[in-house]
Amino acid sequence: MSVYTLAGRASLALATALFVALAGVSTAGAQERTAPRDAAELRLSFAPVVQQAAPAVVNVYASRTVQSRPVSPFFDDPFFRRFFGGPGQDMGRPRERVQSSLGSGVIVSADGIIVTNNHVIAEADAVRVALADRREFDAEIVLKDERTDLAILRVRGASETFPHIQFADSDTLAVGDIVLAIGNPFGVGQTVTQGIISALARTRVGVSDYQFFIQTDAAINPGNSGGALVDMEGRLVGINTAIFSRSGGSNGIGFAIPSNMVHFVVDAAENDGRVRRPWLGASLQTVSAEIAEALGLDRPSGVLVTVVGAGSPADRAGLKVGDLITHVGDTEVTDPDSFGYRFATRTVGSTTTLTVLRPRGEVKLEVALEAAPETTPRDAREISDYSPFAGTTVMNLSPAVAEELRLDGFDTGVVIAKIEPGSPAARVGLQVGDVIQTINGREVDSSRTLQRIAGSDPGVWRLEIRRGGRVLRIALRG
């Protein structure tokens, strides 16, 4: 079973929300959901919803220029070129070719702001969008956020008013609600599929840092990436992103990024041009059945605090090791992934309340929502000298750098931020996120120090590296 990023059927119960929506009745509360009562209700159509939402769903064409490999390895040899000149003299010259990818996108504002998946346009040099009415426009990339797998585009140079979709509150969704998926699967053209919400708050999908997805059985296929998942009022409830599949095609298990996270990233793009996430400054652990029993809980729930960084927002709020966080604001959290989603969608510069369970009872702590600070200048340095670090970019570690690299924000020292494929560093097994503690017994206290040591030739390299909470000791010949 594989998770694919994506560059069902209706039954009697599935007609419920459609009937309610077309009858003009609000579906906000679960108590208002009813089963269809006669055959006439089953003949109702999804067409009004599609007519409202589909014009705002676009095809996204991303392209980039790459250098093809030389046909001949002798191109730079003067002797070879002397005898193979003329029309064939360019046979070994690297040639440019264009790679293209196809996905979907959703217009979310009248001035042409478009949401799609980051993996659709990640390495694109140029992006073009095609509307449902076949008009095409160039688009500029406003923001790329790898951590949520979202990207924000803007139609370039257009002054008209575009059809767009309103955001729904994804927190009001319930399992069993009818949804429509709209996109361009396999490049066949705009397609609508229908299904239900199969599950909420799905984790362990593995396509972004924030594991909190809507699961649906609406058919989603390659090319649907970045397309719309809409409710029966034609509002955006999610951005279709990935599927579970053995073949690469739809097996009825698709995943969408909730609209509340999408809205958060869109607001960040329009206000700051970058995503600023709040930093807690604490490490959290899932509550297992054994831990729940030890704490006297009737079921595993909440997240357990295992580390609190000195001076962090968590520390200043009074959070302590051993605290059990049960709510962010008014919303219950059940594991570190749900906590990460709820906390990350809060606005930097404000505060939020954490409900914490302690042996003496429940307390509420007010936490300042602050971006992770760069307490030490990162001073990024590329290592090119012949050493085990050749091909790396190293930085001084700080909470901000740790946040970018998905590390705990309490380490200090020097971290590997980038490794060139095929480089000496890649061949000896170094990894992005490795914190270099010592080299031949010498403490590495800055990126400048590491660069200086890498320029030496000790004959044998003895490295002490911190990786994922473990310390590795490695010996290599020079």
Residue-wise pLDDT tens digits, 348-399: 999 999 999 998 889 999 999 999 998 899 999 999 878 899 999 999 999 9
Q: What are phi and psi of 238, to 5 degrees?
A: -175, 165
Please tell me if the domain spanning 1-85+92-275 has the same topology as the one spanning 282-368. Answer: no
CA distance 127 to 151: 12
- Read off the pLDDT of each residue in 277-291 and give the average, rounded to a whole number: 90
The better pLDDT of the pair 395, 75 is held by: 395
- Read off the pLDDT of each residue in 450-475 and give the average, rounded to a whole number: 88
CA distance 58 to 104: 6
The better pLDDT of the pair 363, 222 is held by: 363
**pLDDT of the residue at 109:** 94
- Read off the pLDDT of each residue in 459-475 and give the average, rounded to a whole number: 88
**pLDDT of the residue at 12:** 30
Domain coordinates in residue numbering, the chain: 1-85+92-275, 282-368, 381-477
Q: Which helix (H) or strand (E) holds 340?
A: helix 336-344
> Which residues are annotated as part of the binding site for substrate?
119, 149, 223-225
The rounded mean pLDDT for the chain is 82
User: CATH fold of 1-85+92-275, please?
Assistant: Thrombin, subunit H (2.40.10)
CA distance 460 to 413: 22
Decide if 149 is catalytic: yes
> Which residues are annotated as part of the binding site?
119, 149, 223-225
Catalytic residue among 101, 104, 145, 149: 149
Residue 205 contacts residue 24 (beta carbons within 8 Å): no
CATH number of 282-368: 2.30.42.10
Decide if 169 is catalytic: no
Q: Which CATH superfamily is domain 381-477 in?
A: PDZ domain (2.30.42.10)
Alpha helix stretches (DSSP H) within 146-186:
none
| Poorest-pLDDT segment among 87-91, 171-175, 223-227 | 87-91
Catalytic residue among 101, 198, 225, 259: 225
Decide if 384 is catalytic: no
What is the value of pTM for the model shown? Answer: 0.75
How many residues does the structure list for the chain? 478
Bridge partners for 58 per DSSP: 105
| Contacts within 8 Å (CB) and 24+ apart, 130-138 | 130/58, 130/59, 130/61, 131/55, 131/58, 131/162, 131/163, 132/54, 132/55, 132/57, 132/58, 132/190, 133/55, 137/112
